[in-house]
Amino acid sequence: MASVFSKIVAGEIPCYKIAENDEFLAFLDINPLSEGHTLVIPKREVDYYFDLEDDELARMNVFAKKIAQRLKSVTSCKKVAVVVMGLEVPHAHIHLIPMNSERDVDFSKEKLKFTPEHFSRIVEKVGL
């Protein structure tokens, strides 16, 4: 069965898209830890991040870098954290989390709740 992220890639499930190219897609996490929390995925469905091909992994990180730079400039955070977990969704993804303190990357804390309008405003601000 296709992962929820493959369904996003196929357009069967909507997302708040930040950027895409032929191989990768970036969209807002619907349960954000901070304003601008973004997921970067390969369009090709691979569960485990380190099962990606070497050159694919490199290109994915270069793609993520552009988004991280954009997030940093528009959210005025101290840094953009890079987290790979993949325990919930079995489709490789990088979390990009604008952070001002370690607490901003604490996955055990309660997630932020944004309205669709709020998510859309973030896309307008960050979207590439």
Q: Which residues are catalytic?
A: 93
Q: Binders of ligand AMP among 90-109, rule CB under 6 A? A: none
Residues in contact with ligand AMP, shown as a per-residue x/- string from 10 to 39 under the rule CB under 6 A: ---x-x-------------xxx-------x
Rounded to 5°, the CA angle 35-36-37 comes to 95
CB nearer to ligand AMP: pick between 4 and 46 = 4
Rounded CA-CA distance 64/40 in Å is: 6
Contact between residue 105 and residue 19 where contact means Cβ atoms under 8 Å apart: no
**Type of residue found at 70:** R
Q: HSE of 35 in the Cβ direction (CA atoms, 13 Å)?
A: 16
Q: If binding is defined by CB under 6 A, does position 62 make contact with ligand AMP?
A: no
How many residues make contact with ligand AMP (CB under 6 A)? 12
The footprint of ligand AMP (CB under 6 A) covers 4, 13, 15, 29-31, 39, 85-89
